[in-house]
Structure 1
């Protein structure tokens, strides 16, 4: 059999892939996963009883809005790393830039505060559980992102797994913000960032196994 005949035979039964199929797959996954995370937060932790008052405070929107910005970049990361030959540098920069803003704000608050107040600003009451709670709440979104990537063609599975963690960690932090009583910028800059970084590290470690072709 000639090479041309073999190629024609292999291509005879192929069907065109619908446009935006990966985006639709990810949307379905997140529409299922995000309510699970919200229900988990409500059932185990409970929403902040003074959330209504917090909505009028700028720092709440820093705490809640920054992860949402990072989640938007995480969507782009998953979409890019699910396809061969697509650069993800700009999306990673967009994901990391809000972290730099949090660190700058946290550093400014610490610089202006008396030295005796620094431990309270950085640790407050919930530092032992903050990062862990964010990581747990991110798990449903992480599974949704991995499910999406398994239906795509990631050629860098460790980096693609990290992208799934970047999206999931950011959404987990936004969900946790609806419970969290903390508003100090240094606290958010340390523990929220750590909580969002944990799924990224887990995704990088698990990606080669979960996204193996």
Structure 2
């Protein structure tokens, strides 16, 4: 048997593994569907959603959370592939934070000082700290499973980025429910909930993504 024929036969017998990009695309779709089903089954929109849609503060929450979901996903797509540059893309993760800080600074400049503490504390901090991590469980599991088809050189960091992307998706849906629209609330409480998911992702990534 010729060497070329042998190589061709071996290639035909070798299992075809889906690419990491394909797996992450499927994981992203599954993540959004899982959160959507959980959200609309157990939580749903706030009662005054029609009125809220007419306010800039309500809509800007989605600018922040969607920015986190997108930037987290973009970095996650690259971090699972050895040799892919990540450092400059990592700076994109600061975009959601910059948006939140900018909105909070604007609110500090236009709202009466005596109302700022109340706006920051809000009415739903406990829900924020529980629902966002809870909604993030499914997406995080999807992303970690997909990343196992890659070869991240820093498993804990890859898991942390997966946690950021998962939390961004969860926070986007949660933002449609609660009525604390103040950027101060978003800047104070959201990072706490998101950090918890990021930490869990880092620990899971360290254990599950090593190779």
Contact 1:74 1:91 (C-alpha < 8 Å) held by counterparts: no
- The worse-fitting range, judged by mean Cα deviation, of 141-150 and 69-78 is 69-78
Q: 1:141 aligns with which of 128, 136, 139?
A: 139
For 1:13, the equivalent position in structure 2 comes to 10
- Structure 2 residue 97 is matched with structure 1 residue 99: yes
Contact 1:41 1:179 (C-alpha < 8 Å) held by counterparts: no
Between the aligned partners of 1:27 and 1:83, the Cα distance in structure 2 is 15
Q: Between Structure 1 and Structure 2, how many residues are aligned?
A: 205
**Aligned-CA RMSD value:** 2.5
For 1:51, the equivalent position in structure 2 comes to 49
Query: Structure 1 stretches of 5 or more lacking a match?
Result: 1-8
- 4+ residue segments displaced more than 4 Å: 9-12, 14-18
Q: 1:190 aligns with which of 184, 188, 191?
A: 188
Q: 1:88 aligns with which of 72, 86, 89?
A: 86
Between the aligned partners of 1:185 and 1:82, the Cα distance in structure 2 is 33
- Decide whether aligned partners of structure 1 residues 155 and 136 sit closer, same or farther in structure 2, where only a CA change above 3 A counts: same
Q: 1:65 aligns with which of 57, 63, 66?
A: 63
For residue 81 of structure 2, give the secondary structure of its aligned residue in structure 1: coil
For 1:125, the equivalent position in structure 2 comes to 123
Q: TM-score, normalised by structure 2?
A: 0.86
Q: 1:35 aligns with which of 10, 33, 36?
A: 33
Contact 1:138 1:172 (C-alpha < 8 Å) held by counterparts: yes
Shift in Å, 1:65: 2.0
Between the aligned partners of 1:113 and 1:72, the Cα distance in structure 2 is 31
For residues 132-170 of structure 1, what are the alpha-carbon distances to aligned partners after superposition, in whole Å with 9 as ceiling and x for unaligned? 211111111111110110011111101100110111011
Between the aligned partners of 1:94 and 1:185, the Cα distance in structure 2 is 20
Shift in Å, 1:24: 1.9
For residues 80-120 of structure 1, what are the alpha-carbon distances to aligned partners after superposition, in whole Å with 9 as ceiling and x for unaligned? 11011222222221122221221232133234433321221
Query: Structure 2 stretches of 5 or more lacking a match?
Result: 1-5
- Decide whether aligned partners of structure 1 residues 11 and 195 sit closer, same or farther in structure 2, where only a CA change above 3 A counts: farther
- Decide whether aligned partners of structure 1 residues 50 and 153 sit closer, same or farther in structure 2, where only a CA change above 3 A counts: same
Contact 1:173 1:195 (C-alpha < 8 Å) held by counterparts: no
